[in-house]
Structure 1
Amino acid sequence: MDAIALLKEDHKLVKNLLGELAESTTRAVKKRTELLQQIHMNLKAHTTIEEEIFYPAFKSAGKKEEEKMYFEALEEHRAAEDLVLPDLMKTDPATEQFSGRAKVLKELIEHHIEEEEGEMFKDARKLLDKAQLEELGARMEARKKELLQQLKAAA
């Protein structure tokens, strides 16, 4: 699988999980807790493979505009992973505050996905050839498996 197809598959999975979380009610404490754990593990693995493998390849293949996209994407990851997600994980899932924070995380991630798929991935297809995308995809898939095993073991 090429790198972009792998990342789009991850996007679809996380969007679905976030959608389920956003639609859940304050009574669905167990469901919310489980969904949040799945979102956390999948987001962590996804952002790590992007930051370690895909983004550096994209940035080095590009010019000034790609460098700008690279840094913006990193900041969006930081906002989700270091600010919104940790707050959400500390929030009681039986509250409306949890609902609000879940919605903010969903909107932040959806915005990030739109930008990546609408701009970055299109540019990446022009900058990186099929063989490069396949090689990146193989590295990313292996690293993702490793990360998910580590995250499951730590959970």
Structure 2
Amino acid sequence: MNAIDLLVSDHRTVEKLLEELTETTSRGVKTRQTLVEKIGALLKAHTMIEEEIFYPAFKQAGDKEEAKMYFEAIEEHRAAGELVLPDLLQTDPSGEQFSGRAKVLKELILHHAQEEEKEMFPAAKKLFDQAKLKALGEQMFQRKQELLKDKEELLELTLRERA
């Protein structure tokens, strides 16, 4: 699997989980807790493989425009990972605030994924040949497995993506 296919697959998986999360009600406390934990672990792994492997290669291969996309993507990761997600994880799943915070996280992630898919990934396809995209994808997949090794169910999702 090449790097872009791996990242797009991650986007679809997280989007599906976020959709499930925003459709829950305050009575679904256990479901909400489980979904938030899954989303948090997947987002952390996804963010790390992008920031450690994909983004640096993208920035290095590009010019000012790619550098601009790189820094914007990093800031969007920071907003989701350091502000919105931690707040959601600490919010009472049976409380009224939970739905609002879940919706904000979903909108932020959807916006970020759409930008990557419409701007960054097409630019990456011009910067990298298929061999480079495949090599990056292999490296990212291995790193993602390492990051999710303690999360059996999430690792299974990852392995199914690979098939």
After superposing the two structures, state which structure 1 stretch, 74-83 or 141-150, moved more.
141-150
The 5 A counterparts of 1:1-150 are 1-150=1-150
**Alpha-carbon distance between aligned partners in 1 of 2:110 and 2:78, rounded to the nearest angstrom:** 15
Deviations 1:127-155 (A, max 9, x none): 011000000000000000000115x39xx
- String of CA shifts for 1:98-140, please: whole Å, max 9, x gaps: 0000000000000000100000000000001100000000000
Please report the TM-score for the alignment, with normalisation by the length of structure 1. 0.97
Gaps of 5+ in 1: none
The Cα shift of 1:92 comes to 0.2
Q: Which amino acid letter does the alignment assign opposite residue 118 of structure 1?
A: K
Aligned length: 152
Q: CA deviation at 1:96?
A: 1.6
Rounded to whole Å, the distance in 1 between the matches of 2:36 and 2:90 is: 11
Q: Please give the secondary structure, in 1, of the residue aligned with 2:148.
A: helix
CA RMSD for the aligned pairs?
A: 0.9
**4+ long deviations beyond 2 Å:** none
Identity rate of aligned residues, in percent?
65
Amino acid at match of 1:41: A
How far the C-alpha of 1:95 sits from its partner, in A, is 1.2
Query: Which whole-Å CA distance do the structure 2 matches of 1:29 and 1:100 have between them?
Result: 15
Q: Which secondary structure does the structure 1 equivalent of 2:124 belong to? A: helix
* Unaligned residue ranges in structure 2 (runs of 5+): 153-163
